[in-house]
Amino acid sequence: MIITRNDKHKVNRLQDYLATEFEMKNLGGLKYFLGIEVARSQRGIFHGDCKSIDTPIVQNHLHGECLDQVPTNKERYQRLVGRLIYLSHIRPDIAYAVSVVSQFMHSSSEDHMNAVIRILRYLKSAPEKGLMLSKHGHLNIDGYTNVD
């Protein structure tokens, strides 16, 4: 059975069925997903205002653990990196940068947080990149990458 959001009767039946199997409630339209705010427009989903940047990580980066680094808010760092990990599934262009910053989940510093902020600024500059999941009736998948 194919269900679209335009078919209110089928959507309601599906919600009723799921409610018998799971404890759930209808919260309306999607506003947050995995802690990331979803802002919609005619063109798609976009990020809020920030200064954009061209690359997700500094070339020849040297991120590591050093004793003289200033620690950052560990919980905030872990939340941001966790969300970026989920996002990297549909944005393979940030996968390497996210893998680097995820190595410091338990000992993050301001330098590591700055690297996370850089990834967010990169995402702002390239909202059209990623995997487009559209309905065309075919099962072909085209993949593109640019790895240096």
What backbone phi and psi angles, to 5 degrees, belong to 60? Answer: 55, 40
Give Cβ neighbours of residue 129 (< 8 Å, ≥ 6 apart): 91, 93
Q: Quote the pTM value.
A: 0.54
Calculate the alpha carbon distances from 12 to 29, 121, 137 in Å: 14, 39, 25
Q: Which of 33-37, 41-45, 46-50, 122-126 has the highest mean pLDDT?
A: 122-126
Interval 59-102: pLDDT, tens: 766 666 666 778 788 888 998 999 899 888 888 888 999 999 99
Smallest CA-to-CA distance from 112 within 82, 72, 79 is with 72
What backbone phi and psi angles, to 5 degrees, belong to 82? Answer: -60, -40
To the nearest whole number, what is the mean pLDDT of the chain? 75
Q: Are 129 and 55 in contact (CB under 8 A)?
A: no
Angstrom distance (rounded) from CA 44 to CA 26: 23
The DSSP secondary structure of 24-86, one letter per residue, reads -----S--EETTEE-EE-SS-EE--S----S-SS-TT------TTSPB--HHHHHHHHHHHHH
Domain spans, the chain: 50-125
98 SS3 class: helix
What is the sign, positive or negative, of the torsion defined by CA atoms of 106, 110, 111, 112? Answer: positive
106 or 61, which is more confident: 106
The mean per-residue pLDDT over the stretch 18-34 comes to 76
